[in-house]
Structure 1
Amino acid sequence: MIDMNERLCKQINFVLELDKMKNLYRQTYVLHEDRKENDAEHSWHLAVMALLLSEYADKEIDTVKVMKMVLLHDIVEIDAGDTYCYDSEGNSTKAEREENAAQRIFGLLPHDQKDIFYGLWREFEDCKTNEARFAAVLDRLQPLMLNYTKKGISWKEHDIYKEQVMNRNKDYFGESEELAKLIKSVIVDAASKGWLKI
């Protein structure tokens, strides 16, 4: 039998539960293989982007807090599944499915850490603080850049329109002028190349 205290046991069980994220595949393809990325890869990529791109935030942010949020934001998909951002039917039940998942998964942790992790996840979902809004920009930019670099593969698979992608991003253009300029440019160029429908 393994010797560990109750707190450590809960923490290790949570860590092992997170391994399921490696088998949760998104709609975005990785660049150097013919496969879709998983949630663990996506979250790690966003954390690196937060560290790298925080200088482009137009408002004061706590970069470490942004990194924590993006590392935790998709944990709920272990239970709730990945809901494609352009799936209106799936998005109609997403909030409830993810809240239930958050209660179960963060509930595996010791009480104090449960409150902290759940609070960070909830802050990301509510998207009201500077950190949450900048994290949302990164969460949109990462798949956008992967999709663009892969010549719009996922957009073409799902018959996505330029206007859909613009609408998904426009509420966050005020968080980073530089990243907003990049996002708009990518969308316009992708449409001009026929990767997004017009």
Structure 2
Amino acid sequence: MQQVVDFVLEIDKLKHVTRKTKPIGLDRHENSAEHSWQIALFAHALAPHADSPVDISRVVTMLLVHDLGEIDTGDTIVFADIDWEAAKRDELTAIRRILGHLPSETAAPLIALWEEFEANESDDARFANALDRAMPALLNLNNQGQSWRENGISYDRVVRRIEAPIRDGCPGLWHYMSARLAEANEKGWFGA
């Protein structure tokens, strides 16, 4: 029991990880715990639109663990041009430390789901990744491109970073978003 309590108290720190996007209608930035909660519910709502059948329980669990490593590494805006392989290695180290609070028989399947999410090769992982890439863009589309403008993120960079994962994991979502992104570009909601 103590290991589980230690784990749940450790993951409370995810509430302290600030992201670059503001919740709609608020003047503060969202935190990573809010992001994880929102996309977990998004997965339930969007599951009927997945390109292939998905195991929603696995998808939701992936989405709930996928950013836990940010407790140690912090959040990096999805549109950043960085060494993503190095960042993900650091995040895996953090995931192992954080989930290491749990008994190994509980931690191991969660680590495996995190790795599956990162590999992005299963239908479940592709769907989860589509939602993870879509959520910051959806918030930006509903707050006049707030983080795109504040961080100098161009339309081309957004499309380059999110199109393939969203299109591959949920084509209907990409169809919806591509039109909205084009409209946002016409309105000047992107950075230079």
TM-score by length of 1: 0.92
C-alpha contact 1:85 1:91 (8 A) present in aligned 2: no
User: What's 2:170 paired with?
Assistant: 176
For residue 114 of structure 2, what is the amino acid of its counterpart?
W
CA distance in structure 2 between the partners assigned to 1:146 and 1:157 by the alignment: 14
Identity percentage over the alignment? 36
User: What's 2:139 paired with?
Assistant: 146
Larger mean Cα displacement after TM superposition, 89-98 or 145-154: 89-98
- CA drift of 1:171 comes to 1.6
Larger Rg: 1
Larger mean Cα displacement after TM superposition, 90-99 or 48-57: 90-99
CA distance in structure 1 between the partners assigned to 2:147 and 2:83 by the alignment: 17
The reply on whether 1:134 has 2:145 as its aligned counterpart is: no
Structure 2, unmatched stretches of 5+, are none
C-alpha contact 2:17 2:31 (8 A) present in aligned 1: yes
CA distance in structure 1 between the partners assigned to 2:51 and 2:84 by the alignment: 29
SS state at 2:91 partner? helix
The structure in which a higher percent of residues are strand is: 1
User: What's 1:65 paired with?
Assistant: 58
Decide whether aligned partners of structure 1 residues 37 and 61 sit closer, same or farther in structure 2, where only a CA change above 3 A counts: same
TM-score by length of 2: 0.95
For residue 120 of structure 2, what is the amino acid of its counterpart?
C
SS state at 2:21 partner? strand
- CA drift of 1:92 comes to 5.6
Provide Cα deviations, 1:65-84, integer angstroms capped at 9, x if missing partner.
11111011000100111112
CA RMSD of aligned residues (A): 1.4
SS state at 1:27 partner? coil
SS state at 1:115 partner? helix
1:42 counterpart (25, 35, 43)? 35
Structure 1, unmatched stretches of 5+, are 1-7
User: What's 2:180 paired with?
Assistant: 186
- CA drift of 1:197 comes to 4.7
Decide whether aligned partners of structure 1 residues 35 and 90 sit closer, same or farther in structure 2, where only a CA change above 3 A counts: farther
